Amino acid sequence: MTDNTDAPKERGQHKQSIEQNLIDELEKTGFPTEIVAGSIMASKGYGVVHSPAYRDHDEDKSREFDLRAFKTWDVVNETPKWGLSLYLVAECKKSETPWVFFTTPEYHLPYDWLGDPIPLHTNVKSLNQIGAIPEDAVALDRERLMQVHHYRRMDRMARTYAEPLIKKGNQQIFTAVMSCTKAVIFLESEKADSRYPAFFYPVIVLSGQMFEAMVAPDKAITLEPSHYIQLSHRYLYDASRRSIFEDQAFIIDVVQEDFLPTYLEIIESEMTAIAESLRTTVLKKWRPFQLTSPVSDAGQ
């Protein structure tokens, strides 16, 4: 006669083992990072959509990216109401091996203009001419934008990247860069007309180690841990091509998961400052309905 006294215990251990194995494998994926990042964005007042779709213009296929987060900032509360909107187009990645970004100094000249790397709604031709129709157009103070925009916060910019400890076929950075870039292109071109100018920022949220690599003239490489890097990425697609040299410039914010709340505070400060700067200009140009002081009876 067989003694099965320990059978329930063995089945329980087997079940626990399966569940733990599943958890161990799931923790290696980017899904927990996506859920946490979406929750952080929602806590900051963003409307968050998980796994939204975009159309890949290269293959004319529907694809998904990880997160689309949307938020608006009021510019004018009077009639007519007017404001700014922002889309964060985010890819979330988990990496057991470090990401490395090669940076070089970024020089910002006094006459620099930010229009190219900031994807905008199609009815907004450039940041110095915001408005759906010419008579509504308002100028955004160029110097003020240069002062407050986070694309001008860094004195070094990443030009290329590497994942040196894994096989080339499993490189995650390239996949994330291309996904958020193509999603931005789709959203920027397909968004319905609106009075609100919309900004589109590509973002990569990383759960893992990240290093900045600096190369000396003698080719010696220095590595420094980093929690936030801006990657300059240029991409040529049909709508951007007017000559063989005219590709589109993108700046991609790469942030560690723990730094995401601070990054969102940086964006909040930036958009608030832009909205305040535009409010002064809009009120001067549009002169919304204003109450006039009543005429005094004195002296009549």
> Tell me, what's the pLDDT at 40?
96
Query: What is the per-residue DSSP string for 148-208?
Result: H-GGGS-SEEEEEEE-TTS-GGG-HHHHHHHHHHHHHHHHHHHSPP-SS-EEEEEEEEEES
User: Facing residues of 205 across strands?
Assistant: 92, 255
Q: In whole angstroms, what separates CA 273 from the centre of its chain?
A: 18
> Tell me, what's the pLDDT at 123?
40
> Tell me, what's the pLDDT at 12?
57
Give tens-digit pLDDT for 78-126: 666 678 889 999 999 999 899 999 999 987 765 565 555 455 443 444 4
Give tens-digit pLDDT for 170-219: 789 999 999 999 999 888 877 655 556 788 899 999 999 999 999 999 99
Judge whether residue 243 has pLDDT over 90: no
228: which residues sit within 8 A by CB, 6+ positions away? 253, 254, 255, 256, 259, 262, 263
Highest mean pLDDT (candidates 71-85, 149-163, 282-296) = 149-163
> Tell me, what's the pLDDT at 58?
82
